[in-house]
A and B are shown apart, each in its own frame.
Chain A
Amino acid sequence: MVTDVARRPSGPVTPVGAAHRPSVVSVISGRVRTGLATTPGRLRLASVAIVAAVLLLWIVGATTVNARQTATHQVGLETEPLLVGAQGIYAGLADADATAASAFLTGGLEPANLRARYDADLKAASDQLADVTRQVGSSPDAVAAVRSITDQLPLYAGLVETARANNRQGFPVGAAYLREASKLMQKQILVAADRLYAVEAGRLDSSYRSGGSAVDVVAMLAAGLLVLVILAATQQYLRRRTNRVFNIPLVAASVLAIVLVGWVTAIFVVQHHHLAQARTAGSDPVKVVSQARILALQAQSDESLNLIGRGNSTVYSDDFKTVVGKLDGLLGQAGRLATTSALGTDVSSSRQAFQEYQTAHQQVADLASSGAFDKATTQATGVEASAFDTLNNRLSATVNRAQQQFSRDAASARRSFRWLGISVIVLAVLIGLLALLGTQQRINDYR
């Protein structure tokens, strides 16, 4: 009985299409005008407005809760794990390359442990690549990057095996194959891995953005305010008409509306806090320290290739300097990002390991630049290699700790949505029913 009026609550405004259907419009606007002239008519209009506003509140509530919940799920269960996967691929490949070079540098038959590590690296990278391939789905950039890695990885492995086969026969062309393999890895495969990583990092950022959008809160508050204003106006009107100070159902509806908006907003704040925490204490340090680890691996490859080349070119030593400079910057950044004391301890022990690695490198570099490549190689495969392992392990441990922190915070953020979806529906229905009850009681007084 109220639905016909609901379509045109603002009767006096002439609809755009009026010229085409004058009769229908004039009938409706006539009814509205007559309806508005009486108190029950106005109350009916008020109840319609309240229902419409509550409907709006429900829609806004459901939409924003859903959007945030989805984004929070994405962050914790899709985009961040994908980013970690992309980093895993990157690090696995970089480690394989560093290990292959280091095995070569050691000379003679390559040590069994290094060979095992290379194999394990390639397997881990391939497994992660398969996982990521299943999940990247829609992003064409990510798909292209994954394809580029998938296409070239067998080529890389082939070059390394050819290097090995030649090396076992004592042929110098083995070293040439290794250089070719490393070039393919550094210039193509790792570049694609980096691109994949960038795509996933971008997606994580956008998940974070939609998970903490201020628009959600503003929309929720605005919809709540609209409901409260209409409820308040209706109560004001009733007080003037009926001399009753309180209309209990309408007051209850108002209180519930405040509760609904307050609750949802509070959950948003809590969820945003957890998500922000997941980012600052979790995924941001994960990103920075993983990048640092990848750079460390690259530096170690450079070191080995430089010594294998015995001063043949400055390409690798120059790259080493650039990479180590960036690595230093990233560790500094990681130190600033480490908000928890455990993570801070991890980062500073990584930095200490980095200092020791640099000291070891300096000794190797001094020997190499004086032409004592044999001694430099012994030093590099001994002291420097173990300093590198320490650095690599500490960086891994730091990444793991930050990742655990991320998982905890992301889980808390997800948990904050428990019961919220259903509660929004229940409360909205209750508010609507109470408002109708409150107005209907007064309308009935006029019967």
Chain B
Amino acid sequence: MTRRPLLLAAVLVTAACVGCSGQTNSAGGAATASRQAAPVAPTTTAAANCGDPTASLRPAPGPLPAPGHMPDGTFMQKIYQRGRLIVGVDQNTLLFGSFDPFTGQIEGFDIDMAHQVAAAILGDPNKIDYRAITSAQRIPMVQNGTVDMVARTMTINCDRIKQVSFSTVYYRAGQKVLVNKDSPAQHIQDLSGKKVCATTGSTSIDGIKKNQAQPVLVDNWTDCLVALQRNQVDAVSTDDAILSGLAAQDPYTRILEPRFTDEPYGLAINLSHPEFVRFVNGVLDRMRADGTWASIYAKWLGPVTKAAPPPPPATYKD
């Protein structure tokens, strides 16, 4: 009698929980089977069942407050009084967050998300102080309040939602593999036992380990490209979004299909600022509705993708 509800729960979890379901090892053979052929294997960490980790906090009812008119006592008002939004970003990942040496600006898809939030609070998309951080610094920097928000190709998963809050999903990526053009590898499985680069503290490490490859860890994704170009690793494996940026810097590389994980990106915010999470979700909702999201997607990812997907729908837990 107890088996049926359990099984039902497992099915529900697998269906709903895109970012964290791989850990339900109730089915003994599942892990091996998915390693063999599964085009979309469940992702990442071995955290406990957490429902849908991408379900976020619903925006407050009614329209967003106008820039400069943040409700009293909110974190947004604090940011407004400070005059700058402090955002933890990547400056090494082309297309998402990278430093342009000619303009001296940091730019990319993630950065444009931050610009939207800054514009909504401060009335000026450029009133941002950037902190370039590594993958491993994302959670601590949010937790200790060094940054107001992290916009840095950050996957929402069960482990992380215990440590920080996430906005709704603003980009849906998935793990793939980047190899040299002349590499014989056709799938991630072909890289079993080979050296595959990833950054310390990224969810990509789990995907590499699951495929019996040997992870080589560095600080930034560009360091992975350096390692690949210097023949120190056989491949780089991480989200396709990041890999596209690396491939754009080196025409002698190719990306291996298919995606073997699902990586929903969210903006990370300190757990103690739910009102800010709701506000950011309101901004994201507006972007989904008024075409801003689509134009930002076209600007950065249009050149490297065939068809623009619709914005990832928001899911809420309340």
With most chain B CB atoms within 10 A of its CB, the pick from A171, A173, A176, A313 is A173
- B92 cross-chain contacts in A, Cβ below 8 A: 172-173, 175-176
The reply on B129 being an interface residue by CB < 8 A is yes
CA distance A372 to B83 in the complex (A): 13
The reply on A389 being an interface residue by CB < 8 A is no
The reply on B149 being an interface residue by CB < 8 A is no
- A311 cross-chain contacts in B, Cβ below 8 A: 131-133
The reply on A180 being an interface residue by CB < 8 A is yes
CB distance from B254 to the nearest CB of A (A): 17
Interface string of A307-337 (1 = CB under 8 A from B): 0011111000000000000000000000000
Contact call B222/A374, Cβ cutoff below 8 A? no
Quick one: which of A107, A109, A180, A377 contacts B226, CB cutoff 8 A? Answer: A180
The reply on A371 being an interface residue by CB < 8 A is yes
CA distance A376 to B129 in the complex (A): 12
Contact call A371/B102, Cβ cutoff below 8 A? no
Interface secondary structure of B, over-half rule: mixed
Contact call B222/A173, Cβ cutoff below 8 A? yes
- B132 cross-chain contacts in A, Cβ below 8 A: 309-312
CA distance A364 to B222 in the complex (A): 26
- B84 cross-chain contacts in A, Cβ below 8 A: 371
User: In the complex, which range does the number of interface residues on chain B fall in?
Assistant: 20 to 34
- A176 cross-chain contacts in B, Cβ below 8 A: 92, 220, 222-223, 225-226
CA distance A421 to B84 in the complex (A): 81
- A170 cross-chain contacts in B, Cβ below 8 A: 100-102
The reply on B300 being an interface residue by CB < 8 A is no
The reply on A167 being an interface residue by CB < 8 A is yes
Which of chain A's residues 164-196 have a Cβ closer than 8 Å to chain B? Answer: 166-167, 169-177, 179-180
Quick one: which of B101, B133, B246 contacts A107, CB cutoff 8 A? Answer: B101
CB distance from A376 to the nearest CB of B (A): 11
Given contacts A173-B222, A371-B131, contact A107 B102 (CB under 8 A): yes
The reply on B99 being an interface residue by CB < 8 A is yes
CA distance A313 to B229 in the complex (A): 24
- B261 cross-chain contacts in A, Cβ below 8 A: none
CA distance A313 to B129 in the complex (A): 16
The reply on A373 being an interface residue by CB < 8 A is yes
| Interface residues on chain A, number (Cβ under 8 Å) | 29
CA distance A174 to B84 in the complex (A): 29
Given contacts A173-B249, A174-B101, contact A310 B219 (CB under 8 A): no
CA distance A108 to B223 in the complex (A): 21
CA distance A377 to B246 in the complex (A): 26
The reply on B130 being an interface residue by CB < 8 A is yes
CA distance A373 to B105 in the complex (A): 11
Contact call A179/B101, Cβ cutoff below 8 A? no
Given contacts A170-B102, A172-B222, contact A371 B129 (CB under 8 A): yes
Contact call B86/A173, Cβ cutoff below 8 A? no
The reply on A341 being an interface residue by CB < 8 A is no
Given contacts A108-B104, A311-B131, contact A173 B226 (CB under 8 A): yes
The reply on A23 being an interface residue by CB < 8 A is no
Interface string of B188-216 (1 = CB under 8 A from A): 00000000000000000000000000000
The reply on A444 being an interface residue by CB < 8 A is no
CB distance from A175 to the nearest CB of B (A): 7
CA distance A177 to B228 in the complex (A): 12
Contact call A179/B223, Cβ cutoff below 8 A? yes
CB distance from B243 to the nearest CB of A (A): 13
- B133 cross-chain contacts in A, Cβ below 8 A: 311-312
Interface residues of A (CB under 8 A from B): 104, 107-109, 162, 166-167, 169-177, 179-180, 309-313, 370-374, 377
**Extra 11 A-B pairs, beta carbons < 8 Å, given A166-B249, A371-B131:** A107-B101, A171-B94, A171-B249, A172-B91, A172-B93, A172-B98, A173-B226, A176-B222, A176-B226, A311-B132, A371-B84
Task: List 3 A-B pairs, minimum CB-CB distance, nearest first.
Answer: A371-B129, A310-B132, A176-B222
Can you name 17 A-B pairs with beta carbons within 8 Å?
A: A108-B101, A108-B104, A109-B102, A162-B229, A166-B249, A167-B101, A170-B101, A172-B91, A173-B246, A175-B99, A175-B222, A176-B226, A310-B99, A310-B130, A310-B131, A312-B219, A371-B84
